[in-house]
Structure 1
Amino acid sequence: MTQIEEKVIDSTFQFSTPVTLNSPELQSLFDFIALGASERDRDRILPYDVVELIRRSRLGALRIPVAEGGAGRTARELFEVAIRLGDADANVAHIVRNHFSITERILRSERTARNRRWLKAAVDGAIFGSAANELELKKAGGGGVVNTKLTPDGNGYRLNGTKYYSTGSLYADFLYVRLLTPEDIPATGIIPSNREGVELVDDWDGFGQRLTGTGTTKFTNVRVEADEVILEKDTDKDNLPYNIVPQLFLTAVNAGIIRSVLRDATALIHKRPRTFYHAVAEQAADDPLLQQTIGQISANAFAAEAIVLAAADGLDRLAVAKTQGEEAQLAAALAASLGASKAKLIVDDLALRSATLLFEVGGASTTKKSSNLDRHWRNARTLASHNPSHFKARAIGDYEINGTPLPPRGFF
């Protein structure tokens, strides 16, 4: 970060408490993020300064109870924020996706000393990133581990291995790492990202979500303390079969993209200096065809947001079910996962259609690289590809027809 950037940030934003849904500071932060979103995406400017602002705002503590220093907001409110952040910058929204997934897992777990320590770090502004995927696995998303392993080292361990698609980790303070114990048992470690031997490589070259730091993470003889490793049998491990937050967060970002498309489409109408000779109106703003297109995008944005928030309500119902016994909790988790899965199928389609309609509003001149309006389609398509719709739809159909529970892994 340059001295000028530091000065602008310091003079503009002051955060005394963790921001909440209605904080004026939160809207100011999102407005600031939106101003540079297109330029960052076009020129591949990594948003370290923006992530630093998110740290200072303590947005990552949105779901942590007030009694523990957080904002204490509901799941529905979290996803309202996710949509607004996706509207401001889809890259930045995706960067913090794993943070909220990880903190949600910790919140669902027993409050041991280490879980309280990790939640306190989030309250203080720390960002959590994930390093879970390995290309050697034949089946993506199954939670398996083959090459990232602990070896004994005194009263702790050493970690060696390589992870891929580590979204957000480039900007994170802590890494949530899937690994093998010395006995070849799958486990999870949460370790500082700046620990000696951790290498974060910015080698993601996707055509969309270019700035998310979805690159390679290498661990070379990294020291891991014993209480940084969460074993499958530990009582403070989240054992819920469906995590839900990661998949619904991507869908919320796509809902945010539709809102951003609507803003850009409306701006194009007002800036458009000319129209086609065979158009039915002299001014673009008076053209009924363009009005109809804007109206369709607006309806898509409304529907997408409503669908995401309806699915988010399932997470709040899950929190209530937790007090009603294991059977009620499992039923609520399945229902919430089904809601998130169905939301994805519809919202992804609306996002891609809306991003295409944007070019109907502006014509060929909107395809200029300098305008970077293609970022909306590229980002929406990339987000949707994380969790292919046809596989998701098949699983939903199998449940509806045969009562087969959804697969209890990362994509659900």
Structure 2
Amino acid sequence: MSAHVIADDAEALAVAASLAAEFRPGASARDAARRLPRAELDRMSASGLLAVTVPADHGGADVGAWTLAEIFRLLATADASLAQIPQSHFAYVNVIRRQGTSEQREFFFAELLAGRRFGNAQSEAGTRHVQDIRTRLEPRPDGSYVLTGVKHYSTGALFADWIPVLARTGDDRLHVAYVPSGAPGLTVVDDWDGLGQRTTASGTVRLDGVPVPADRVLPHHLTFEGPQLHGALAQLLHAAIDTGIAAGALAEAAEFVRTKSRPWFESGVETAAEDPLLIQRFGELALCTKAAEALLREAARSVDAARADLSDDTAAEASVAVAVAKVQAARAAVEVSSALFEVSGTRSAADSLNLHRHWRDARTHTLHDPARWKIQHIGRFVLNGTRPPRHGLL
């Protein structure tokens, strides 16, 4: 596989905008038929977009958090499933940046620049909570490991060249094992049946005695032993996806009202777009969406500032800023995608139009982690100066 190497932030944004325009026309049909976007992901890989966080000293563009968030927002305005698939990819690139040895960094960054994709195998079903990881990484006499476990919601794994697996060793410490897609004992099952984000293939990964060389395992537990941005960056991308869903739904609603809706007879106007009550509602929805976009930019700037001067205080400020953005983005995604029908009228509910994909995507993606706990951490920080906890979901 070969891929273009993006030079800088400006080129990364231009490539993302171009791909979003390319992916948008087919998004509804892909969703309706649940046609998995293999060709589109190959285009994304070949464009170089998946390697934009590779450090400059390894030949990458090393783009900032604002650029990365905007890439995800742009993609999500076109197709929320396509935007979601590489979210974990970038989270696990970040693990290599922070915890990889020089040899691991050299190997994996070369893989990324060649267009290789990371999936994920992190969440498990039937455990006490999301942090209760029971997949085991058992050592062998030769220094290598064996992986055993079952993972769910494994977005991107079906399309991946490498599948990062969250697992615990005998001392209960958390590690990431990077497993090639063809490894013996590894099975990826396409059994995702979510009502939204239908083409993410967020199914099951089974690990039945998968052999893993020692140099493919990274000590992820060390990430959370000091100030870190792993959680903030991962959540920033989720916020960008929700913000993009809101913007995409708003744009489609406006186009529908301009071209297909009839005015309500009591309005006294010739077109629906002239209806003062619809104009008012679109203004409200625009405010909601623009607020999400502004908070996303502010959060990204906070992450970039903390990256330049990482401390307990700057990491906490970044995590709280991202939490604020994520709460507003989730609200905007659900409200705007639901209001699409309110402003567009009865015709918009036709299943054949598939306008409900925006709401289905928003409702599904915003379930990833509860906004109510983010509000708790925001309140504690603002009122009492309590720093948020160090984990990958904040």
TM-score in terms of structure 1 length: 0.88
Moved more, 350-359 or 181-190: 181-190
Please point out which of 182, 197, 204 is paired with 1:216.
204
Please point out which of 14, 22, 30 is paired with 1:32.
22
CA-CA distance at 1:209 after TM superposition: 1.4
Deviations 1:189-244 (A, max 9, x none): 1121222221111222221112212111101221200111123687x999544521
Corresponding residue number in structure 1 for 2:149: 161
Change (3 A) 1:67 1:127: same
Change (3 A) 1:230 1:107: closer
Corresponding residue number in structure 2 for 1:5: none
Corresponding residue number in structure 1 for 2:365: 383
Q: Aligned partners of 2:113, 2:250: CA distance in 1, in Å?
A: 34
Is the Cα contact below 8 Å between 1:21 and 1:81 reproduced in 2? no
Deviations 1:267-291 (A, max 9, x none): 1022226333223312122222222
Check if 1:301 corresponds to 2:283: no
Corresponding residue number in structure 2 for 1:227: 215
Please point out which of 384, 394, 397 is paired with 2:376.
394
Check if 1:50 corresponds to 2:40: yes
Is the Cα contact below 8 Å between 2:136 and 2:169 reproduced in 1? no
Change (3 A) 1:242 1:25: closer
Where 2:366 maps in the other structure, the secondary structure is: helix
Aligned residue runs from structure 1 range 46-195, under 5 A: 46-109=36-99, 112-140=102-130, 142=131, 144-152=132-140, 154-182=142-170, 184-195=172-183
Q: Aligned partners of 1:346, 1:273: CA distance in 2, in Å?
A: 29
- Runs (4 or more) in structure 1 with deviation over 6 Å come to none
Change (3 A) 1:21 1:359: farther
One-letter amino acid of the structure 2 residue matched with residue 107 of structure 1:
R
Q: Aligned partners of 1:379, 1:19: CA distance in 2, in Å?
A: 32
Corresponding residue number in structure 1 for 2:255: 267
Deviations 1:292-326 (A, max 9, x none): 2333333333221111011011111122114xxxx
Where 2:54 maps in the other structure, the secondary structure is: coil
Corresponding residue number in structure 2 for 1:9: none
Corresponding residue number in structure 2 for 1:409: 391
Is the Cα contact below 8 Å between 1:110 and 1:237 reproduced in 2? no
Gaps of 5+ in 1: 1-13, 323-328
Change (3 A) 1:354 1:316: same
Q: Aligned partners of 2:125, 2:340: CA distance in 1, in Å?
A: 36
TM-score in terms of structure 2 length: 0.91
Gaps of 5+ in 2: none
Corresponding residue number in structure 2 for 1:369: 351
Where 1:218 maps in the other structure, the secondary structure is: strand
- CA RMSD across the alignment: 2.3
Q: Aligned partners of 2:286, 2:383: CA distance in 1, in Å?
A: 34
Aligned residues: 390
CA-CA distance at 1:155 after TM superposition: 4.2
Q: Percent identity?
A: 32
Change (3 A) 1:359 1:16: same
Check if 1:253 corresponds to 2:241: yes
Q: Aligned partners of 2:317, 2:167: CA distance in 1, in Å?
A: 30
One-letter amino acid of the structure 1 residue matched with residue 316 of structure 2:
L
Deviations 1:97-143 (A, max 9, x none): 01111112322346511122112211111111221122243122x2x
Is the Cα contact below 8 Å between 1:269 and 1:362 reproduced in 2? yes
